[in-house]
Amino acid sequence: MSSQRKKWSIGLLTAVLIGSITLAGCSKGNNAENASESASPATETTSASASASPSEASPSASEPYELKWLKAQDISVPYDPAKDVVKQAIEQKLNIKINPEMVDVQQYKTKLNLKMSSGDIPDVVRIDFADDFQKYAPLGAFVDLTDLINEQDTPNILREVPKEIFEQAKVNGKIYGIPYQGGPGAGYRWNLVLRKDYLEAMGASVPQTLDEYYNLLKKVKAEKPDVIPLGGYTAQIGQTKFANNSFDNVFGAFGVTPGFFTETDGKFGNYDIDPRMKEALLFLQKMYAEGLIDKEFATIKEEQLRAKLYSGKLFSWMGWWSTPNDYDTQVETNELIKSKKLKADEKLPDQSEQPFKYLSLTGSLVGSDGKAVAPMGAPFSQMTAISAKTKDPKKVLAIIEQSLSPENQMLTVWGIEGEDYKLDNGKLKTVTDLLDPKTKQDKNGNFRGTQSYLFAPGLNGWPRYLESLPLRYSQSLDVAINNKFQITDASNYLDSPTKIAKLVELNTMRDSVFTQIIMGGDIKKFDDFVEKWKSQGGTQILSELEESFKKKSGN
């Protein structure tokens, strides 16, 4: 690291970071994303010199590599790391020694910032990308991994994090950390949900194209005049939900999605002002005029949409991946009550392990070109970074690399096979009754910190995550996150002061204009909106994004 780098502020005036990635220093620890997730170093191979590759520079097989880090923990829940058998299994298998410093999950971010400011930086840091990481990385807080992340030395890391994601995570053209998401991974989370029993009654099948869907909705309208073909609802803060998800499949079939920025060869645009958006709005306007869209879509809340569904008055809508299970059960309950097979005050048992009875789920509808877009969230929210003060950065990187092998991820994410999880006919099932709900200990008095000591980025989901879910949840999430038409917002991780200042205002204007058009307003309103969007901050946002893109790329 160049001696000309800036000295750190806030307690680091005397801690100027000098030298290369072989800087001497104490072996610090890593941290956690939340109460159930914290970084987990792991390796089994022998030690190597600092000049070795990450895959070679791993801890000694005879002497555990000691690591200290912050572990976010809900302090209201009993836990003693000294009695954590999963932690002990990780230490034994990966030849490491974990010395966690416990911090309340609500105070984790504050505590980490205090450590960063004082120079007491853990070896491996789990840190929010949007603010803290981008603040500390340019100051020399983290090891430059640009030349250390490669197919030969870090295949596990690159399997988990594609090269294009590393490009988005760069700061000043350099890689200072490994993007992290966790859980089911980054991805689209919505499905087009339809009443399966209505489909069967009409002799119809689940549509794959927008034209098929449109014709199906017309069939519903003709044969079931009391049923709303397509429902929508507003967001909690009053913004029209269609701008985000209620009409995803219609917008997506035209190759656009409201609100997302695009990038081609360094030039930025926005789908809100794309000519194809105008075509999509005209199509929705036609659907609305023909009675295929709920007349109340722009005013009702989700709970009102659910009431229409439960009463049998709704055919299709865009649903969050986890909701169909409960919806299917509620529809079945109402149908059984109507047929006198269930009393009004009776409830059905858990149905989550049974196939869907009343609902069908599908992914994006394709347009005339056979393509679509589905707006997914940002691919990562945090970074796993190595402190520039660590005594052996390449060894720590080797630990991260080794911890991300499929076998080691199974241990850090799911725990001990046969105890924390079992393989039933090859399918993973977590054991849910292992711990006492009050003491959080097993019958032997041990704690079991699954997902407490891990590195798994989870950009593609934790290993075998879908298997761990009940059948209905697994099926609905599988449809959503495996939608092959997913796209991300090109403005993710880029700087634009005008975007921060003006985007809410621009989105509010968009939602109002788009709603008016769908409900029969003059399509000329779209052209007026485009001009206002540009003049009221949009053009400046695009310019700032292009500059930030160049800077991040190191140009």
Question: What are 254-297's pLDDT values in tens digits?
Answer: 999 999 999 999 999 999 999 999 999 999 999 999 999 999 99
Assess whether pLDDT exceeds 60 at residue 23: no
- What average pLDDT does this structure show over 336-348? 93
Query: Which tokens in the block code for residue 414?
Result: 């799911």
Buried b / exposed e over 328-354, threshold 16 CB at 10 Å, is bbbbbbbbeeeeeebeeeeeeeebeee
Q: Give the Cα separation of 378 and 491 in Å (integer).
A: 10
pLDDT of the residue at 95: 84
Give residue 526's pLDDT band: very low, low, confident or very high (50, 70, 90). Answer: very high
Q: Give the Cα separation of 185 and 380 in Å (integer).
A: 8
Q: Give the Cα separation of 324 and 480 in Å (integer).
A: 12
Tell me how far the alpha carbon of residue 169 is from its chain's centroid: 15
Q: Which of 53-57, 80-84, 168-172, 261-265 has the lowest mean pLDDT?
A: 53-57
Give residue 390's pLDDT band: very low, low, confident or very high (50, 70, 90). Answer: confident
pLDDT of the residue at 551: 87
The H or E element that residue 497 is part of is helix 497-518
Give residue 236's pLDDT band: very low, low, confident or very high (50, 70, 90). Answer: low
Query: Which tokens in the block code for residue 468?
Result: 């761990």
pTM for this prediction: 0.81
pLDDT of the residue at 414: 95
pLDDT of the residue at 235: 73
Computed over its alpha carbons, how large is the radius of gyration of the chain? Answer: 26
Query: Which tokens in the block code for residue 261?
Result: 């920025």
Q: Which tops the pLDDT comparison, 452 or 22?
A: 452
Q: Which tops the pLDDT comparison, 126 or 528?
A: 528
* Nearest CA-CA partner of 294 in 310, 316, 321: 316
- Burial (CB < 10 A; 0-12, 13-18, 19+), residue 238, is exposed
> How many residues make up the chain in this entry?
555
Q: What is the pLDDT of residues 2-14, one digit of tens each?
A: 333 333 332 332 3
Q: What is the pLDDT of residues 357-384, one digit of tens each?
A: 999 999 999 999 999 999 998 899 999 9
| Phi and psi torsions of 419, nearest 5° | -120, -65
* Nearest CA-CA partner of 498 in 530, 531, 546: 546
CB 275 within 8 A of CB 536: no
pLDDT of the residue at 242: 64
pLDDT of the residue at 243: 63
Q: Give the Cα separation of 388 and 395 in Å (integer).
A: 13
Mean pLDDT of the chain: 86
Assess whether pLDDT exceeds 90 at residue 192: yes
- DSSP letter at 80 equals -
- Please, what is the Cα angle at 216 between 210 and 217, to 5 degrees? 90
pLDDT of the residue at 51: 37
For residue 13, the SS3 value is: coil
- What average pLDDT does this structure show over 483-499? 94
Q: Give the Cα separation of 413 and 183 in Å (integer).
A: 9
For residue 529, the SS3 value is: helix
pLDDT of the residue at 244: 62
pLDDT of the residue at 240: 62
CB 443 within 8 A of CB 435: no
pLDDT of the residue at 281: 97
For residue 221, the SS3 value is: helix
Query: Which tokens in the block code for residue 427?
Result: 């399918």
* Nearest CA-CA partner of 283 in 245, 321, 251: 251
* Nearest CA-CA partner of 282 in 534, 524, 530: 524
Q: Give the Cα separation of 397 and 375 in Å (integer).
A: 33
CB atoms within 10 A of CB 83: 17
Give residue 486's pLDDT band: very low, low, confident or very high (50, 70, 90). Answer: very high
Q: Give the Cα separation of 238 and 245 in Å (integer).
A: 14
Q: Give the Cα separation of 239 and 259 in Å (integer).
A: 13
For residue 382, the SS3 value is: strand
Give residue 54's pLDDT band: very low, low, confident or very high (50, 70, 90). Answer: low
**Continuous H helices in 376-469:** 393-403, 406-414, 465-468
pLDDT of the residue at 10: 29
Q: Give the Cα separation of 28 and 125 in Å (integer).
A: 9
Q: Give the Cα separation of 216 and 221 in Å (integer).
A: 9
Give residue 238's pLDDT band: very low, low, confident or very high (50, 70, 90). Answer: very low
Region of residue 461 (left: phi > 0; alpha: psi -120 to 50; beta: else): left
pLDDT of the residue at 536: 97
